[in-house]
């Protein structure tokens, strides 16, 4: 199934915490786990907000510490869909649980996998074999498996997608092909309006030939999924509170509660520009 892309990847903060109309007290923005309930101080209202990971996010989700700076959030189990949508329809990338987890993006789905991380922002756009690390969500990577697109990882993109294959700003078509508006690789067509050998004699009064041909552009991918990574910046945001609607044809965002980072726009050097277009916002 062809994905609908994440044109933008953003942190899991995708939900919107449930405000409890009570002061934060000793609870900070980083929050704390109360069983599998995330409790944190909503900086917009300065009131305590909570997210029930099991009821609001996924039956297998748990509350866990993502890192000492970010704090706690809900994390999904291995094999769970790690791409969801918040209440505004923005794509968000959720955190995963397990050993060095991350989100693996293939042609058919985006799911939590172990041993993909950890990562830092410096790792974005790098290849590990034919896997492309598009964006680092705090310390968990969003990785595209280029082979599932019949492509290879090269220079910050999946390169060499075949004719009729999926394409966007991160998955680029092979030489001689270009990405059409439907997100498929098609033959690049060059139109020659014809040249006149003699454009100035009484015998031949033809107009000089004009070549309107457009050279094939492997990187002329179009963001198929107006939802991500041409992800890269669709403004997906994470907000900690509402259960996301996952879609197995897409790509990314950041977290589950509204913190002050900004949207992790997976700008990925290109991609999710597809998916990810500008990837680097961090939650607000």
Query: What is the distance between the alpha carbons of residues 14 and 229, in angstroms, rounded to a whole number?
Result: 16
Do residues 57 and 256 make contact, with C-beta atoms less than 8 angstroms apart? Answer: yes
What is the per-residue pLDDT for 54?
97
What is the per-residue pLDDT for 121?
96
Phi and psi based region of residue 129 (left: phi greater than 0; alpha: psi -120 to 50; beta: remaining): left
Query: Residue 252, preceding bond cis, omega within 30 degrees?
Result: yes
What is the per-residue pLDDT for 22?
86
Q: Sketch the domain layout of the chain as residue ranges.
A: 12-19+28-189+213-270
Torsion, Cα 162 163 168 173, to 10 degrees, reads: 60
What is the per-residue pLDDT for 85?
78
Segments of the chain with pLDDT less than 70: 1-21, 190-284
pLDDT digits (tens, 9 = 90+) for 260-278: 222 233 332 233 333 432 2
pLDDT digits (tens, 9 = 90+) for 76-128: 999 999 988 777 888 888 999 999 999 999 999 999 999 999 999 999 999 99
Query: What is the distance between the alpha carbons of residues 28 and 15, in angstroms, rounded to a whole number?
Result: 18
């Amino acid at each position: 199934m062809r994905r609908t892309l994440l044109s933008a990847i953003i942190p899991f903060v995708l939900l919107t915490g449930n405000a409890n109309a009570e002061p934060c007290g000793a609870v900070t923005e980083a929050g704390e786990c109360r069983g599998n309930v995330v409790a944190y101080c909503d900086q917009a209202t300065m009131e305590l907000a909570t997210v029930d990971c099991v009821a609001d996010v996924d039956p297998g989700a748990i509350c866990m510490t993502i890192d000492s700076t970010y704090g706690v959030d809900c994390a999904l189990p291995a094999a769970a869909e790690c791409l969801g949508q918040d209440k505004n329809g923005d794509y968000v990338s959720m955190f995963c649980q397990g050993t060095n987890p991350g989100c693996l993006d293939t042609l058919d789905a985006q799911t939590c996998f172990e041993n993909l991380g950890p990562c830092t922002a410096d790792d974005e756009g790098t290849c590990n074999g034919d896997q492309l690390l598009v964006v680092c969500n705090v310390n968990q990577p969003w990785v595209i498996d280029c082979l599932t697109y019949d492509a290879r990882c090269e220079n910050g993109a999946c390169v060499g997608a075949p004719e009729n294959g999926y394409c966007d700003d991160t998955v680029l078509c092979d030489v001689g092909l270009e990405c059409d508006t439907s997100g498929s690789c098609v033959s690049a067509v060059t139109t020659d309006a014809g040249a006149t050998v003699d454009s100035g004699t009484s015998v031949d009064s033809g107009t000089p030939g004009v070549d309107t041909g457009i050279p094939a552009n492997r990187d002329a991918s179009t963001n198929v999924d107006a939802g991500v990574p041409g992800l890269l910046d669709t403004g997906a945001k994470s907000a900690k509170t509402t259960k996301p609607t996952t879609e197995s044809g897409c790509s990314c965002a950041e977290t589950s509660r509204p913190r002050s980072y900004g949207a992790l726009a997976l700008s990925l050097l290109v991609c999710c520009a597809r998916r990810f277009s500008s990837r680097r916002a961090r939650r607000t």
